[in-house]
């Protein structure tokens, strides 16, 4: 098997301002606040694990008025190309998070990123990049709770790639990154219980060798993991999942990020890959073919 060609360079946001200031998912309770000291230690341990596995971490400063900005996976979908780096900025479902895009856009401009916007100021489709993954040359886009189905078409058009929509129906698995984790060029962790029947069938057909997990296993956040080469950095790993991963030759590293679960995210939510490449990880299509490149 061939290791993923992306997932070695990650954007993160230090947790200086992380807290539970509102409730926009089933895990958030403003009466249960994270411990600031433990939050920092868990973040540092995650960064150390990424670097120990051979990965790189790039930090973007957070905002005092954006306590969820620590979940960097939702800031935008980053891509590299021969024309330079680019990012499709998220248009958050909830207004409580929309200021995050302002800082992300400024950082991207400072670093020479071309920028696209799926929607803004309440116009157009909502899109949160925790719903988007490059997989076997195509872009998989979850929709239902945080991203709109229309975002699938926007992404295909803006990036010039084939995009496939996956309808999410489980309210606690509201982003695709809570039920799907690419492992290598043939394997991925998949929780079919997160999707409607048609999307579950589609997802299992797209993955040659799926590591299928149950709803209960998914709710440990084990799919909200990242892969650096053959190392899987996970917030939790149920015994059955660990056995399968190790049988496939992966090294499992569990990093406790329990304080971040209070906000509804774990390892993948805290990191955003910067090294997905157009033309390598996502096949480019001619502009006139875009309409045939959207599958929802």
Within a domain: 66: yes
| Per-residue b or e along 25-56, where b marks 16 or more CB atoms closer than 10 Å to that residue's CB | bebeeeeeebeeeebeebbeebbebbeebebe
Residues 6+ positions from 12 with CB-CB distance below 8 Å: 43, 47, 57, 58, 59, 60, 72, 270, 271, 272
The pTM assigned to this predicted structure is 0.95
Residue 71 near residue 130 (C-beta atoms within 8 A): yes
| CB neighbours of residue 107 within 10 Å | 17
Question: What would the two tokens of residue 40 be?
Answer: 């920092």
Within a domain: 4: no
**Total domains in the fold of the chain:** 1
**Of 164, 171, 225, 211, residue with least CA distance to 194:** 171
11 φ, ψ (degrees, to nearest 5): -90, 135
Which residues, in sequence order, are bridge partners of residue 57? 10
Within a domain: 201: yes
Residues 6+ positions from 133 with CB-CB distance below 8 Å: 139, 140, 176, 177, 180, 182
Within a domain: 84: yes
User: What is the extent of the structural domain holding 229?
Assistant: 9-19+28-295
| Cα–Cα distance measured from residue 225 to residue 264, given in angstroms and rounded to the nearest whole number | 14
92 φ, ψ (degrees, to nearest 5): -65, 145
**Of 207, 161, 215, 226, residue with least CA distance to 191:** 215
Residue 86 near residue 78 (C-beta atoms within 8 A): yes
Q: How do the pLDDT tens digits run along the chain, 296 residues long?
A: 799 999 999 999 999 999 999 999 999 999 999 999 999 999 999 999 999 999 999 999 999 999 999 999 999 999 999 999 999 999 999 999 999 999 999 999 999 999 999 865 545 799 999 999 999 999 999 999 999 999 999 999 999 999 999 999 999 999 999 999 999 999 999 999 999 999 999 999 999 999 999 999 999 999 999 999 999 999 999 999 999 999 999 999 999 999 999 999 999 999 999 999 999 999 998 765 555 566 76
Within a domain: 3: no
Within a domain: 237: yes
Judging by beta carbons within 10 Å of its beta carbon (0-12, 13-18, 19+), is residue 23 exposed, middle or buried? Answer: middle
254 φ, ψ (degrees, to nearest 5): -95, 125
123 φ, ψ (degrees, to nearest 5): -105, 135
Reported in sequence order, the residue ranges of 38-152 that DSSP labels E, i.e. its strands, are: 56-59, 76-79, 86-89, 114-117, 119-120, 123-124, 132-135, 138-143
Within a domain: 86: yes
Residue 293 near residue 284 (C-beta atoms within 8 A): no
Which residues, in sequence order, are bridge partners of residue 163? 139, 294
Within a domain: 253: yes
What's 105's domain CATH number? 3.75.10.10
């Amino acid at each position: 098997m061939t290791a993923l060609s992306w997932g070695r360079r990650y954007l993160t946001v230090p947790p200086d301002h992380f807290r539970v200031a509102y409730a926009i998912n089933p895990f958030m309770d403003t009466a249960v606040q994270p411990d600031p000291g433990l939050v920092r230690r868990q973040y540092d341990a995650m960064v150390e694990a990424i670097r120990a596995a051979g990965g790189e971490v790039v930090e973007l400063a957070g905002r005092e008025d954006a306590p969820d900005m620590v979940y960097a996976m939702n800031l935008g979908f980053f891509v590299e190309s021969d024309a330079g780096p680019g990012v499709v900025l998220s248009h958050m479902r909830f207004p409580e998070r929309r200021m995050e895009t302002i800082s992300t856009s400024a950082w991207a401009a400072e670093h020479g990123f071309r920028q696209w916007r799926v929607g803004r100021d309440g116009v157009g489709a909502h899109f949160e990049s925790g719903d988007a993954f490059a997989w076997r040359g195509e872009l998989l886009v979850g929709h239902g709770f945080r991203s709109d189905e229309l975002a699938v078409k926007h992404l295909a058009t803006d990036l010039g790639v084939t995009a496939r929509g996956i309808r999410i129906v489980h309210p606690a698995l509201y982003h695709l990154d809570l039920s799907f984790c690419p492992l290598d060029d043939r394997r991925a962790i998949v929780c079919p219980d997160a999707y409607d029947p048609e999307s579950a069938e589609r997802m299992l057909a797209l993955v040659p060798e799926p590591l299928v997990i149950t709803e209960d296993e998914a709710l440990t956040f084990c799919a909200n993991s990242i892969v650096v080469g053959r190392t899987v950095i996970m917030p939790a790993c149920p015994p059955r999942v660990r056995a399968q991963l190790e049988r496939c030759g992966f090294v499992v590293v569990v990093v406790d990020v329990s304080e971040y679960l209070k906000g509804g995210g774990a390892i993948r939510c805290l990191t955003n890959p910067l090294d997905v490449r157009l033309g390598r990880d996502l096949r480019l299509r001619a502009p006139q073919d875009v309409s045939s490149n959207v599958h929802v």
